[in-house]
Amino acid sequence: MPNAADQVLTAAQMRAAEMALIDGDTSVEELMQRAGQGAAEWVWRICGGRTVTVLCGPGNNGGDGWVIAEAIRQLGGDVAVFTAADPATPAAQHARSAYSGTVLDASANRSGEVLVDCLFGTGLTRPLIPEHHALLTRLAAAHDKRVAIDLPSGIDTDLGQPLNRDLPDYDITIALGAWKPAHFLMPAAAAMGTLRVVEIGIGAVEGAACVVTPPLLSAPAADAHKYTRGLLGVVAGAMPGAALLAARSAQGAGAGYVRIYAEDPIDAPADLVVDRQSLAEALLDGRISALLIGPGLGRGGEARERLAIALSEQRPAVLDADALVLLGPRLLAEHKAPLIATPHDGELFALERAFGLDAAGSKVERAVALAKAANMLVVAKGPDSVIAAPDGRLAFAPRASSWLSTAGTGDVLAGAIASRLACGTEPFVAACQGLWLHAEAARLCRPPFTAGRLAETVRSAYAACL
Backbone angles phi, psi at 417, to 5 degrees: -65, -45
- As averages over each run of 10 residues, the pLDDT of the chain (466 residues) reads 86 96 94 97 90 97 98 95 95 97 92 95 95 97 97 97 97 97 98 97 95 95 95 96 97 97 90 94 96 97 96 96 96 94 97 96 97 98 97 97 97 98 98 98 97 98 96
Instruction: Concatenate the DSSP letters of all residues of 94-114 into one string.
Output: HHHHT--SEEEETT----EEE
Euclidean distance between the first and final Cα of the chain, in Å? 24
Amino acid residing at 460: S
Whole-number pLDDT of residue 1: 67
Rounded to an integer, what distance in angstroms lies between the CA atom of residue 362 and that of residue 380? 12
Amino acid residing at 350: A
Residue-wise over 72-98: b if at least 16 C-beta within 10 A, else e? bbeeebbbbbbbbeebebebbebbbee
The ranges of the chain annotated as CATH 3.40.1190.20 are 231-463
Rounded to an integer, what distance in angstroms lies between the CA atom of residue 306 and that of residue 237? 8
Angstrom distances, CA of residue 335 to CA of 46, 309, 314: 54, 11, 6
Residue-wise over 158-170: b if at least 16 C-beta within 10 A, else e? bbbebbbeebbeb
- Using N-to-C axis directions, what is the helix angle for 345-354 and 363-374, rounded to 10°? 40
Residue 100 neighbours by CB distance under 10 Å: 10
Backbone angles phi, psi at 81, to 5 degrees: -115, 130
Rounded to an integer, what distance in angstroms lies between the CA atom of residue 380 and that of residue 206? 23
- Using N-to-C axis directions, what is the helix angle for 28-47 and 90-97, rounded to 10°? 50
Angstrom distances, CA of residue 167 to CA of 122, 134, 138, 376, 463: 16, 10, 11, 38, 40
Whole-number pLDDT of residue 4: 74
Tell me the whole-structure pTM to 2 decimals.
0.95
The CATH fold assigned to 4-208 is Rossmann fold (3.40.50)
143-149 and 112-118 strand pairing = parallel
Whole-number pLDDT of residue 264: 87
- DSSP tally for the chain: helices H, then strands E: 15, 18
The ranges of the chain annotated as CATH 3.40.50.10260 are 4-208
Task: Find the DSSP H helices in 98-239.
Answer: 130-141
The CATH fold assigned to 231-463 is UDP-N-acetylmuramoyl-L-alanine:D-glutamate ligase (3.40.1190)
Whole-number pLDDT of residue 16: 96
